[in-house]
Chains A and B, each alone.
Chain A
Amino acid sequence: MATLTLQSLGKSFGTTAAVTGVDLVVGDGELVCLLGPSGSGKSTVLRMVGGFEGPTAGRVLIDGQDVTHLPPERRPTSMMFQSHALWSHMTVAGNIGFGLRLRGLSRADVAQRVDAALDTVGLPGYGPRRTDQLSGGQAQRVALARSLVLEPKILLLDEPFASLDQHLRERLREEVRDLQKRLRITMVFVTHGQDEALALADRIVVMDRGRVQQADRPDRLYRAPATPFVAGFIGQMNLIAGEVAGGRFVQGAMVLAAPVADGPALLAVRPEALAVSFGTGAGRLHRVTDFGSHAVAEIDLPEGTRVKAHLPEAPDAAPGMPVTVTPRRHTLYRDDRVLWVSDTAPGAAPVAVDA
């Protein structure tokens, strides 16, 4: 059993706030991804959980115990680093067994547990090898074994597959996911790749500029983004600034029902929720890209915004052709909050509407 609780966690470097007011509870056996662009504070949060950075505000609790001020070596956590951080003067077995030797285990016990850990990560017999004889993927597996062998309550992963090629990255993240399910270990995984987060996580915490934008299931993040940032960061989203007046959102020739108070609003429409008709309209076709399974049309709206629309197949249309776009499903945002949702996407829970 291992739960992680972050209470109003904050970190400032001088006058720069890297993380502000992060509240989060990670349940036992849950895999949570911290997702955000570079500089969003996700790695800083992870390093505060691991004890490598001291928070300037808030608390870190593991199973209810306050570990905020404990050094890394006294926390029940283990971290996998982006650069695997293996010690090149030790063999693979030396790397994995180092923590066990520090705990005073006998040589035989260390060897037995190192072998078991190597089996777990699919590298049996690799113990005597030098670390520079390993491929990138093998090095990360050894780093994972080094963490797992200590049976930490919480495993922290700081973009561990960022330096690997796409194919290997996908394979390793599937293995990590399987391992996490099998061992029922609580994991916090930092990534800036939304594909990785969507593929791995039970829950995704989207961060931007040091703040949590939304912490939710992957499907809800896609279908019901709570802020324009999340809407634009998860998947593709067309964001069109306009005005609501008299119950209608107006932007150029586009007029949509919007039963909310008058004022500025941001319209968010997924490319797959944008209906397109060619031949008439104020929009102009910029380009069509055929991806085989579907096509993407890029359309310039009269006010200068370029939007994307998914089409089942590439149309017989030339660039510059008049186009009409009609949102089938859309969300309006104001002041970084959801203002109105046109309908509810199939399979998703109802979205709270703040009119």
Chain B
Amino acid sequence: MTDTATSGGAATGRPDASGRVTGLILVALPVAMVMTMIVWPIGLAILDTLWLPGPDGTGARFSVASYRFFFSDGYSLGNLWITIWTTAVSTAILMAIAIPLSIYLRFRTGRAAAVVQALAIFPLFVPSIILAYAFVRVLGPNGMVDIILANIGLPRIRSPYLTVWGPVIGFVWDNLPLTVVILLAGLSGVSTQAVEAARDVGAGRIATFRHIILPRIGPSILVAASFVVLGLFSAFTFPYLLGPAAPEMMGPFMQRTFGDVLDPVQARTQAVVTFLFCAAFGWFYVRSIAANRRRMAR
């Protein structure tokens, strides 16, 4: 009897131990990937920007000279500023389009809504480089819009191609589908009856949005904005193909500094600065999500 009880206890203990091992094995792979593919290169890059050779080219030592150069160089700061500006303006325009569009798609049914949804989601399946090419064909010099205007006797447009607005339009176009999908997921938690109840007690459309819809989709807006901000900060295709040569966004700036100027230390410094901005936003994002979860749990 005693033996049976003992072996029974051991049997009960075994699944816990094996479960713990299985869990650790399952976690080990992604942790190893993050460590080798992300943390290690980031650490190396940061170390490379802080451990520089002396003035005679020998004897590496700790130095912040590369950062001193970046933050005192007008061109570098201009590029950082245009990156922040493009990201902020693109995100604001994107939200201004995506939020009303998502609300329309959530609360309207029928063929028109289905067509709008298909059109809004379509760019998700088109590579960025194709979108950039389409942009040039439509809004570029001698593009479709220009040709139409010329044919009806109107003056040509001031093309946003190769201006700061080129990447902004490209980003908005490219990021609209994912943003709409994320916001629609958030809006699925807002029931039609909750909106109708608000209108029933006297809320107009704006009051309903402000007091009923917005508080419920705040986390979704934050998630969507985070994807957009983090993606835009390190974007390359649109700024390279549609943006101005100078100032340039951090993506093309890094590539050019590394490949054309052949200054890997300064390229890494630019990368670390870009990473620190993204990390700061990531910290804000995680903190907001955690605060929201705490609020929901109370």
Contacts and interface: CB of A to CB of B under 8 A. Distances in A.
Nearest to B218: A89
Interface stretch (B66-74, B138-146, B189-197): B189-197
Contacts of B196: 52, 72, 79, 81, 85
Given A87-B212, A89-B215, A102-B207, A81 B199 contact: no
Interface residues of B, number: 18
Interface in A38-92: 50-52, 71-73, 77-79, 81-83, 85-89
Nearest to B201: A99
A200 to B, nearest CB: 21
Chain B contact residues, majority secondary structure: helix
Contacts of A51: 199
A98 interface: yes
Contacts of B193: 81-83, 85
Contacts, number: 60
A89 B193 CA distance: 15
B186 to A, nearest CB: 13
Nearest to B204: A73
Contacts of B298: 130
Interface residues of A, number: 26
A78 B198 contact: no
A241 to B, nearest CB: 41
A343 B203 CA distance: 55
B202 interface: yes
A98 B199 CA distance: 11
Contact of A102 (B194, B202, B215): B202
B200 interface: yes
Contact of A79 (B200, B207, B211): B200
Contacts of A130: 298
A269 interface: no
Nearest to A47: B196
B199 A85 contact: no
A85 B194 contact: yes
Interface of A: 50-52, 71-73, 77-79, 81-83, 85-89, 98-99, 102-103, 130, 143, 146-147, 150
